[in-house]
Amino acid sequence: GAVVSQHPSRVICKSGTSVKIECRSLDFQATTMFWYRQFPKKSLMLMATSNEGSKATYEQGVEKDKFLINHASLTLSTLTVTSAHPEDSSFYICSAREELPYEQYFGPGTRLTVT
């Protein structure tokens, strides 16, 4: 199956700093990428949908100025958590979608801890 990489896998940062997470589709072109957040023992929460070359579509309640998403190419999307706070600590997962059958391939996730 298709492979999606995510970097870094784990990051610890201090409150007030910014963190960038990269998501890459390694063997296919992903016109659409998704960013999810997952709290312990909870299901995936969609944060935003990004299409290559256009602005991301954010879900209700997700601050677009805090979670900056860039989808500059068909194989790369980045999520930047700006001015991170401890409540931003979470498991962030990206996925990339092929057109048919619209299956999403997930990256391995990034565990963010803000101290």
The footprint of other proteins (CB under 8 A) covers 1, 6, 34, 41-44, 46, 49, 91, 93, 101-109, 111
44 closest CA partner among 91, 114, 102: 91
Query: What is the nearest approach in angstroms of other proteins to the Cβ of residue 16?
Result: 27
Cα–Cα distance for residue pair 113/115, rounded to 1 Å:
6
Nearer to other proteins, 82 or 106 (CB): 106
Query: What is the nearest approach in angstroms of other proteins to the Cβ of residue 83?
Result: 26
Nearer to other proteins, 17 or 55 (CB): 55
Spatial CB neighbours of 18, under 8 Å, sequence gap ≥ 6: 80, 81, 82, 83, 84
Query: What is the nearest approach in angstroms of other proteins to the Cβ of residue 51?
Result: 12
**To which H or E segment does residue 95 belong?**
strand 90-97
Between strands 90-97 and 104-106, the pairing is: antiparallel
Could you check whether the bond before residue 8 is cis, i.e. omega within 30 degrees of 0?
Answer: yes
Query: What is the nearest approach in angstroms of other proteins to the Cβ of residue 31?
Result: 11
Nearer to other proteins, 85 or 111 (CB): 111
Nearer to other proteins, 44 or 68 (CB): 44
